[in-house]
Structures are given as structure tokens and as C-alpha cells.
Amino acid sequence: GAGVSQSPSNKVTEKGKDVELRCDPISGHTALYWYRQSLGQGLEFLIYFQGNSAPDKSGLPSDRFSAERTGGSVSTLTIQRTQQEDSAVYLCASSFEVVEDSNTEAFFGQGTRLTVV
Amino acid sequence: GIQVEQSPPDLILQEGANSTLRCNFSDSVNNLQWFHQNPWGQLINLFYIPSGTKQNGRLSATTVATERYSLLYISSSQTTDSGVYFCAVEWDDYKLSFGAGTTVTVRA
């Protein structure tokens, strides 16, 4: 697509429920990132996918968080047993393959605003 | 990890004024981007500027990688320039590390 697409735009869920957030990257982009922005805060790295390489999950805050990327394109971020502190905007970004001297400009989707009540 | 510091944290401008936002980073970086987060939360790409100077309309940016800083210039500010400006640096091959942002308010 023309830009990074995320769905849903907003999600309100009850504490303890599982949620799935979807990201559709820019066509041709092999790198995909998830970030989290809590209220009034900067962006926190969560996870990174690059082609068929093993993802970098070092930013995931707990084992309730997981993500997958099917077919090197669409990615799903899953949060199990949601807690109120999970409330935030979850942002997805994509870029061309990260190699030396390449243009790795990242483009972000509009985000999913998650509210856990 | 790398530290990214932005200043000032808040900036209030009268429409038509010029301003400079600064981004300092603590280590060598591969790349640097400036973003504008609009009131709806969308991150808009402003500049991809690992070094040198670029201009886009009323905005321009300069990165001096050897001295580990970047500057974003806003000239003849408009109310639509309001929002949060983020600097993000790429380190560790691919991770983007963000500063805390500068909140700009432009008053008519």
C-alpha cells in the first residue's frame, strides 16, 4: 500500500482479555518495527523483524507480549491478559532492508490507541 | 544504550517567529530522522538526515555527526506547525532510539 496501515485505530478492552493489533507495511519494505508510546512519553522499541531473520524481541516488556510476521508482510502484535499499564498507542513502522549505507528511513502508521479498562 | 536528548522540552511561538530545536546524542549513529507528531498522533517524516543540511519549505535541518548533534529550524512558524517534534537516531544497526520530544505551540 501507499503507507503503513494499522488496525484497529482504537481498541478498548477489559482487563484480562487478549488483544491483537495488526500492521500492514509499505509494499517492498522488508524491515518492520513495533513501538509503544505511553501517555505523554517518547517511543519505546518493542520488536523488530527483518526478512527471514529471527526477530529482535528484546524490547517486549513481558511474556504477555508476542508478535509474528506472516509471509514477510503483515505483522500481528498480541497482548495476552491485558493490564491497565498496557494502555498506550502502539505504532508500527517499516523500512527497506537494513544494510550498510542503505537508506533505512522508517515510515510509521497512524497507530492503534489501546485502552484497558 | 544510546542517549538522545532534545531541547527545549517546550516552545511557545508567536505566528511568524523562527525557532531552532536541538537534538544531542551520546554515541555514533548510522542515521537520524526528524518527525512531527500531529495532534492526531500521526508521526510525519520531516527529514532523514544522517549528515549535512537539508531544506523542505520553511523547515530545514542540519546534522553534524562528528559532534553528535542535529538542529531543526522552523522559519515563519504557522499554527499548523504545532505538535511534538521528535528526533530519532538509528543505532545498533536498526533500532530507532527516540528523544523525549519538543512540544511546539504556535499562537495566532
**Over the stretch B40-92, which tens digit does the pLDDT of each residue have?**
888 999 999 999 999 999 999 999 999 999 999 999 999 999 999 999 998 87
In chain B, what percentage of residues exceed pLDDT 90? 84
Q: Tell me whether residue B103 is exposed, middle or buried, using C-beta atoms within 10 angstroms of its C-beta: 0 to 12, 13 to 18, 19 or more.
A: middle
| Distance of residue B49 Cα from the nearest chain A Cα, in angstroms | 9
Distance CA B59, CA B54 (A): 9
Output the pLDDT for position A101.
Answer: 66
Residue B26: per-residue pLDDT: 95
Whether A51 has a pLDDT exceeding 90, the answer reads: no
In this complex, which of B45, B94, B96 lies closest to A50 when CB atoms are compared? B94
Quick check: B43 and A33 CB within 8 A? no
Range with lowest mean pLDDT among A13-17, A89-93, A112-116, B35-39: B35-39
Confidence of residue A111 (pLDDT cuts 50, 70, 90): very high
Q: Above 90 in pLDDT, residue A107? A: yes
What was the pLDDT predicted at A1?
54
Q: What is the pLDDT of residue B91?
A: 80
Separation of alpha carbons A48 and B101, rounded Å: 22
C-alpha span between B80 and A91 (Å, rounded) = 23
